[in-house]
């Protein structure tokens, strides 16, 4: 559980270019009483604008986006809003991608195929300012 005050909701912005995935993630987040999706974006450029407009606590950022990718968008959002936390959500996983998002200032990385199990705990962890990296089970490629 977070150390948030009662009634305080974690404000989340979703950055995902695939509409069905974005809708599924939004539904999962909004099933939580302490989380609210305040904005959505389909591109890195739109994410930059909406982050300034909506001031989310956490940005759930896809890595592969049209235009500015999620790593560069993370870097730019955090340059202007260092209090924002970024959690990457991607189909792709590997040490270089994880390192790239962490180097850009992100705090976490969840594989999309693990979102049902890991997204909510990852969001709470990242919102609290702690690092969260997706679980890789034996037999899965990292």
The model's pLDDT over 43-96, given as tens digits with 9 standing for 90+, comes to 999 999 999 999 999 999 999 998 899 999 999 999 999 999 999 999 877 778
pLDDT (0 to 100) of residue 4: 40
Q: Where are the domains of the chain?
A: 10-133
Q: Which residue has the higher pLDDT, 37 or 2?
A: 37
Q: How confident is the model at residue 18 (pLDDT cuts 50, 70, 90)?
A: very high
- By CB atoms closer than 10 A (0-12, 13-18, 19+), residue 83 is exposed
Tell me the C-alpha distance between 21 and 31, whole Å. 16
Question: What average pLDDT score do residues 29-40 get?
Answer: 97
Looking at the chain, list the stretches that DSSP marks H as alpha helix, in order from N- to C-terminal side: 19-30, 44-54, 70-80, 95-103, 115-127
Domain 10-133 has CATH 1.10.8.350: no
Residue 1 pLDDT greater than 80, yes or no: no
The model's pLDDT over 88-138, given as tens digits with 9 standing for 90+, comes to 999 877 778 889 999 999 999 999 999 999 999 999 999 999 999 987 644
């Amino acid at each position: 559980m977070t150390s948030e005050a009662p009634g305080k909701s974690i404000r989340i912005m979703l950055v995902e270019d695939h509409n069905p995935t974005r809708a599924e993630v939004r539904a999962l987040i909004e099933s939580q009483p302490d989380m609210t999706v305040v904005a959505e974006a389909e591109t890195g450029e739109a994410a930059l604008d909406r982050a300034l407009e909506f001031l989310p606590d956490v940005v759930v950022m896809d890595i592969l986006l049209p235009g500015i990718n999620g790593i560069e968008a993370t870097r730019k959002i955090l340059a202007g809003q260092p209090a924002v936390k970024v959690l990457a959500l991607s189909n792709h996983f590997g040490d270089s991608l994880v390192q790239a998002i962490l180097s850009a200032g992100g705090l976490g990385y969840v594989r999309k195929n693990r979102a049902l199990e890991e997204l909510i705990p990852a969001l709470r962890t990242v919102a609290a300012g702690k690092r969260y990296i997706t679980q890789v089970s034996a037999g899965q490629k990292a």
